[in-house]
Structure 1
Amino acid sequence: MAGSWLLGAGVGEPGRRPTALLVGVHGEDGGDTDSSTATSLAELRRLADTDGLAVADAVVQNRPRPDPATYLGSGKVDELAVLAERTQADLVIADGELSPGQVRNLEERVGVRVVDRTALILDIFAEHARTGEGRLQVELAQIAYQLPRLRGDGRSLSRVGGGRTAGGAGMGVRGPGEMRLETQRRRLRQRATRLRRNAAELARRRERTRNRRARNQVPSVSITGYTNAGKSALLNRLTGADAQVQDVLFATLDPTVRRLTAGGLTFTVTDTVGFVRHLPHQLVDAFRSTLEEVGGSDLALHVVDASAPDALDQITTVHGVLHEIGAGDVPELLVLNKIDIAPTDWVDCLCRAHPQAVPVSALTGQGIADLRTTLATRLQRR
């Protein structure tokens, strides 16, 4: 169920999935296409479903850029208000990052809670973080997001003020007034300082572990890729691990490390967090030490959902994040997963675009033996 901070206090009925409306802006300046807009909204729908929300409808407007005051133009905002009343929506989710002013103005015009794509992803991350390090990293991202959005009406997007939290701080102050706002900001900043100190220590431990593996000459492979590409399922198939596998976005946030022997060579394989379009920069910063597992590895096993119609775009998105975290130069082995459900002609197309890719099915085991052999060969060259 979506965290109460997304919905606001007292919103929704017990036993009923909260209802959401999706809104997006389709650019007319050549930056967007109809297919990319549809794909982005379809992904936003999956994110909402992962967070326990029922999507009632979507509103898309054609305009060069979002309205600086209300994201949508005035006429579309009126249309959205009517739709929200008709569907009894609890929440409006924008397919982009909203400014505090846009959130406030939209809520006043539409009459329901308004959040953006970043807030939704943060909520999902908070739900899926299992380890202390994962919860710490998510809470850091939450604080970075909510600090500029604190406002004096008691409705700031604050995990610390209530609802589902990653770190369980629970020390926000509600109510109007600049003094209370300053108190909130000061406590959030103090909390962030403590979290960053703890995160730095965890990063040092992770670095020591990587150095120890390097001294022992144990090669390392990091599994990376778009969310829900089947990374954890592939780890299980390769190593016999028991990593959690779910058909939801961001099922894995905490790295899982296993050993694998292939071709007479023993090496470690690490499952890492998946990426997504417009991955919030707060999350990239907060998870940097975890993502650096990819940068410190000998080979990046880039898993692609070969059944996804936008697989090529997903590859581009992952490459962008890897460059952002300084892992763009790590040797890569592309793995086309889910070939058991992907159209054959589409798999052939992907193989022509990436001739070195290895097609596999983590579900059926098809191609896994070839992948093990290729892994050993690539690592032995290193």
Structure 2
Amino acid sequence: MRDNDARLEETAGLAAAIGVEVVGRMPFRVRQARPATLLGSGQVDQVKDRAEEQGAELIVVDGALTPVQQRNLETAIGCKVIDRTGLILEIFGERAATAEGRLQVELAHLDYQAGRLVRSWTHLERQRGGFGFLGGPGETQIEADRRMIRDRMARLRRELEGVSRTRGLHRGRRQRAPWPVVALVGYTNAGKSTLFNRLTGADVMAEDLLFATLDPTLRQFSPPGIDRAMLSDTVGFVSELPTQLVAAFKATLEEVVSADLIVHVRDIAHPDSDAQRADVEKVLAELGVGDEIVTPRIEAWNKIDALDPDAREAVLADAARRDDVAALSAMTGEGVDDLVAAISANLTRAHRRYQIDLDPADGAGAAWLHAHGEVIDQWMADDRLMVEVRLAEPDYARFIQRDA
């Protein structure tokens, strides 16, 4: 069950993520949704009075509105109204930095707007990124003929299919290497990018901001016993993630589908941490992960530095009882080594022990074994260097064929 205050706080955070100043919040219990306005007439009047009192120019409804409900609310209240889906699409429109990201967002935007006609609110116009969901530059696209929208969507899908094929080729090259892929997933603002930066030494944007990461990022890192692995930082999930975005971002999220290991980063200090976990699992299920695709998972319980002492002890004790959980703070670095050890143990689970006979002068061979596997023991016997090492079968095959 979600905490109402936390839900309001999240919605305010979504609005703040695109520079909207929140001047008021009003929770309502909707026993029966009204087809015309969603809210009851008395509730609509309350919103109208509050908007006039605060001088509000925009109302954000934390829920889904039909085109009719949106139009009627705008007429009744006298200012622009946008629902949760439109707000998230607006954020994605501003944040997409790559050509691929902008293609995905535009496709989702057109899908969302296909059945809507949003009037221009000139008092909200401003030079800004995004696609004009709140008004301003770009809004003429919404007024386009439906046939033109369908044609544009078809072209975007073809371009994204090309992106998907290219990404598949890149994955194929990595798999032939072979380098395992570890995908970081989690609710937006759970700390994925901060953890990504700490593990890889990268400088991916990591701020206390919803949807700080939108475009996927891949970097290599070297957990113990593994020469090289690829770490993927993905877009954060959110409750009621618009279906248009799940569909549009499948090309990006294919990194998750094809990963060898999924690390689910959770903000364990958040009051809705369990509900957020359920939201992430729901999106993963929509992608087919956990259904026809069974991918090993580890949960990274992040932000233990934000817990009070009693809650912190309880979380640490709970995590210690499980081998698929690591409690940590990506910000301070506490517990990150435990997560790295868990990642390494998971990726090397299929490794086997080998006893290898080396010439003592073969320093390069010994170094290779240390770099690509976990050296358990080594000793001299009959002027030979004996090395007991845990290796993946493909790595062992590569080693014994190195001089062939």
Return the TM-score normalized by structure 2: 0.78
Q: Which structure has the greater CA radius of gyration?
A: 2
> Is 1:262 matched with 2:227?
no
Distance 2:312 2:251 in 1: 34
> Is 1:117 matched with 2:84?
yes
Cα distance change on mapping 1:72 and 1:166 into 2, 3 Å: closer
- Which residue identity is paired with 1:369? D
Aligned to 2:287: 325
Distance 2:223 2:30 in 1: 54
Shift of 1:54: 1.4
Shift of 1:236: 0.8
99, 107, 118: which one pairs with 1:140? 107
> Is 1:63 matched with 2:30?
yes
Cα distance change on mapping 1:326 and 1:347 into 2, 3 Å: farther
Distance 1:171 1:50 in 2: 20
- State whether residues 93 and 117 of structure 1, in contact with CA within 8 Å, keep that contact through their aligned partners in structure 2: yes
Distance 1:244 1:342 in 2: 24
Distance 1:204 1:346 in 2: 46
Shift of 1:66: 2.3
- Which residue identity is paired with 1:210? R
Structure 1 stretches lacking a partner, 5+ long: 1-32, 175-180
> Is 1:128 matched with 2:95?
yes
Over the matched positions of the two proteins, sequence identity in percent amounts to 44
Aligned to 1:378: 346
35, 41, 48: which one pairs with 2:15? 48
- State whether residues 129 and 166 of structure 1, in contact with CA within 8 Å, keep that contact through their aligned partners in structure 2: no
Deviations 1:314-365 (A, max 9, x none): 1111111100111223211000111112234334544538833101111111
Distance 2:89 2:278 in 1: 22
Cα distance change on mapping 1:171 and 1:150 into 2, 3 Å: closer
- Which residue identity is paired with 2:333? G
Aligned to 1:84: 51
Distance 1:348 1:66 in 2: 43
**1:143-222 residue pairs with structure 2 within 5 A?**
143-150=110-117, 164-165=129-130, 170=138, 172=140, 183-222=144-183
RMSD of aligned residue pairs (Cα, Å)? 2.4
Cα distance change on mapping 1:359 and 1:318 into 2, 3 Å: same
- Which residue identity is paired with 1:199? L
Distance 1:227 1:154 in 2: 31
275, 289, 299: which one pairs with 2:237? 275
- Which residue identity is paired with 1:202? V
Q: Secondary structure at the match of 2:26?
A: strand
- State whether residues 136 and 166 of structure 1, in contact with CA within 8 Å, keep that contact through their aligned partners in structure 2: no
Q: Which moved more, 1:107-116 or 1:186-195?
A: 186-195
Cα distance change on mapping 1:173 and 1:122 into 2, 3 Å: closer
- Which residue identity is paired with 2:61? A
Distance 2:307 2:111 in 1: 39
338, 363, 368: which one pairs with 2:336? 368
- State whether residues 17 and 210 of structure 2, in contact with CA within 8 Å, keep that contact through their aligned partners in structure 1: yes
Deviations 1:62-108 (A, max 9, x none): 23232221111011111111111111110111010100110111111
Shift of 1:255: 0.8
Q: Secondary structure at the match of 1:304?
A: strand
**1:273-352 residue pairs with structure 2 within 5 A?**
273-328=235-290, 329-350=294-315, 352=318
Number of equivalences:
337
- State whether residues 122 and 138 of structure 1, in contact with CA within 8 Å, keep that contact through their aligned partners in structure 2: yes
Structure 2 stretches lacking a partner, 5+ long: 351-404
**1:16-31 residue pairs with structure 2 within 5 A?**
none
Distance 1:170 1:87 in 2: 28
- Which residue identity is paired with 2:20? L
Shift of 1:374: 1.3
Distance 1:206 1:249 in 2: 26
- Which residue identity is paired with 2:167? R
